[in-house]
Structure 1
């Protein structure tokens, strides 16, 4: 099993792949996509910085975009409380989940669902945008950023389509340093409770295993956590997400 440090480094590397702004040094790592969706702009790590100084600098770098601050185990232990004392607002606590791929459970693919890699970002991005909350006016920017993605790793985008060609499930597999990290795992609302999310996750796990990857990681939302636990993922840490 990969260390939590490796999982956090992979998470930083993926979101920095969206960055078109100032990333900064290791003491204050930021990324800016200019997509009007908070998780695609924000702070990834803060160490050894006074909370007020870090907050002032982060606001300068991320001025004009919705953003979040990911306070995880790789940030100073008092970072979240310090930011809250300065007006930051905690909006969620999200589990960082990991699994040994060989120990994960099977998941059946629902009848009529066909999962395959896609490079058609003009249809793939609107599908995950609808599920993840990216507003319609931000989809074009998200497509542009996906096309220009420059992370130090490999991105594989999986689309789950029905027989009529509609994309009803999505997953982004991020492969870096022998680790799979999952993003944008989602199911269109009208197709939920059919096992599509589990099938998309299973497909990504199988793809990674076929490339010699042994460990998977993700950050779960409340709606997805029961699915991932059934597959064998367990909590390894927590992100406190703040707006600022």
Structure 2
């Protein structure tokens, strides 16, 4: 699961951050979750922090301190001036053991390749500033990574995109990203329907495990479907 997560975010990288004991990715998008550090292994935290700041200079960024980094990484970084901003559970489920929520009336979920429509929809609910949407679109068009990405749009009867999800297939795992619902359509079960559609894709492909990182607001939704915490990332600003 951790390798699949790294592979997806490295698909946004415009540099060469994948190699070595400090794995970074730089997308040039002015959005913290799309630039950052993915893993630190066998490296002095002080030196690693200085190099990470140099590699990612000029961009908002985050450090994912998780189970694939050296023990004590988050505490060491905080002692050097990094700031904890969130704790995100890593959640997983056996695909065949998931509950199937009902699809809201008037919603259909389908694969989309229309990035000009899809990117602004998920950017709106993912904290991407309006001036950053063009950069996100450029990177989505150039996305290349070790896996397969399927973009899902939840459409209303009038064709508007009310929900989004990115299904990432890598390392025999489905990992979910950008699961979101437009604010005016929330609390109708659209997020659950987007997640269920991605799980259906996994079943069709014979993929047995699904994973995601959840915000506190989304954790209860994923628990209802069957996901359970198996670890966590400490997210830090630096």
Query: What TM-score results when the alignment is normalised by the length of structure 1?
Result: 0.96
Distance of 1:200 and 1:216 partners within structure 2: 14
Give 3-state SS (helix, strand or coil) of 1:239's partner. strand
Could you list the runs of 4 or more consecutive aligned residues of structure 1 that deviate by over 4 angstroms after TM superposition? Answer: none
Residue 24 of structure 1 deviates from its aligned partner by 4.8
Give 3-state SS (helix, strand or coil) of 1:159's partner. strand
Match of 2:62 in 1: 68
1:127 corresponds to 2:114: no
Distance of 2:15 and 2:131 partners within structure 1: 20
Work out the number of aligned pairs and report it. 238
Match of 2:101 in 1: 107
Distance of 1:218 and 1:48 partners within structure 2: 26
Residues 26 and 46, structure 1, Cα contact 8 Å, conserved in 2 = no
Match of 1:139 in 2: 133
Match of 2:200 in 1: 206
1:191 corresponds to 2:185: yes
User: 1:167-205 CA distances to partner (integer Å, 9 max, x unpaired)?
Assistant: 110000000121100000000111111000000000000
Alignment of 1:75-94 (within 5 A): 75-94=69-88
Match of 1:157 in 2: 151
Distance of 1:80 and 1:176 partners within structure 2: 27
Distance of 2:16 and 2:30 partners within structure 1: 17
Match of 1:231 in 2: 225
Distance of 2:151 and 2:81 partners within structure 1: 37
Give 3-state SS (helix, strand or coil) of 1:224's partner. helix
Distance of 2:97 and 2:6 partners within structure 1: 26
Residues 107 and 154, structure 2, Cα contact 8 Å, conserved in 1 = yes
Match of 1:171 in 2: 165
Distance of 2:226 and 2:38 partners within structure 1: 26
Distance of 2:45 and 2:210 partners within structure 1: 32
Residues 90 and 233, structure 2, Cα contact 8 Å, conserved in 1 = yes
Match of 1:50 in 2: 44
Query: What TM-score results when the alignment is normalised by the length of structure 2?
Result: 0.99
Distance of 1:131 and 1:141 partners within structure 2: 16
Give 3-state SS (helix, strand or coil) of 1:223's partner. helix
Indicate which of 4, 15, 24 corresponds to 1:21: 15
Residue 208 of structure 1 deviates from its aligned partner by 1.1
Residues 106 and 202, structure 1, Cα contact 8 Å, conserved in 2 = yes
Match of 1:4 in 2: none
Alignment of 1:23-42 (within 5 A): 23-42=17-36
Q: Mind listing any 5+ residue stretches in structure 2 that lack a counterpart?
A: none
Distance of 2:67 and 2:146 partners within structure 1: 22
